């Protein structure tokens, strides 16, 4: 396992259940404070790590893929820039804007909002990203030295996936 910061694409990448819970709770606060319809955090593959809000009319998995593609496209234009962000008009009843913000190299915040993205909205999203990013960095250090926490986190993630897919497979979609 390579822990070099210069070669992060070859690193084992895992978030502990503590960080995932922190992101979920912080997202709830962010959606409430910004009056967003919904928000999610995805990794660069589009996999949803945390989400909250009313996704009516907005499929979370599509949002995840769109967020990942948007940040990847922005990164291709400006690969050295750290705080990639974009706001896109979204012509859907009840939602007018989709906001994307790179939290870290592998994580992206995506929020749907009815109003134009104000400086206050963007600042709240940036504060969310800074808080989550600091906890992720501390978490990485803890998991390097504590293999029990890594195992607990993998177990937590598997249980969350089981919960998500249980509804899908028991609703007649299997």
| pLDDT tens track for 30-53 | 999 999 989 999 888 888 889 999
CA angle at 91 for the pair 108 and 112, rounded to the nearest 5°:
30
Question: Do 64 and 42 meet the contact criterion of CB atoms below 8 Å apart?
Answer: yes
Determine the 3-state secondary structure of 83 from DSSP. coil
| pLDDT tens track for 55-73 | 887 777 777 788 878 877 7
| pLDDT tens track for 68-120 | 788 777 777 766 656 678 777 766 666 678 888 888 878 889 898 887 678 89
pTM of the model: 0.71
């Amino acid at each position: 396992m390579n822990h070099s910061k210069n070669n992060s694409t070859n690193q084992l990448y895992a978030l502990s259940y503590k960080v995932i819970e922190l992101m979920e709770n912080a997202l709830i606060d962010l959606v409430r404070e910004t009056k967003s319809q919904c928000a999610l955090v995805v990794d660069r593959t589009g996999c949803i790590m945390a989400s909250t809000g009313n996704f009516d009319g907005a499929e979370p998995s599509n949002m995840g893929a769109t967020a990942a593609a948007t940040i990847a496209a922005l990164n291709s234009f400006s690969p050295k820039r750290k705080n990639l962000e974009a706001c896109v008009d979204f012509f859907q009843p009840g939602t007018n804007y989709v906001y994307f913000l790179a939290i870290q190299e592998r994580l992206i915040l995506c929020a749907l909002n009815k109003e134009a993205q104000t400086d206050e909205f963007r600042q709240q999203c940036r504060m969310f990203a800074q808080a989550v990013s600091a906890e992720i960095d501390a978490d990485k250090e803890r998991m390097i030295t504590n293999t029990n926490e890594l195992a607990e986190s993998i177990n937590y993630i598997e249980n969350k996936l089981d919960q998500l897919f249980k509804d899908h497979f028991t609703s007649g979609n299997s």
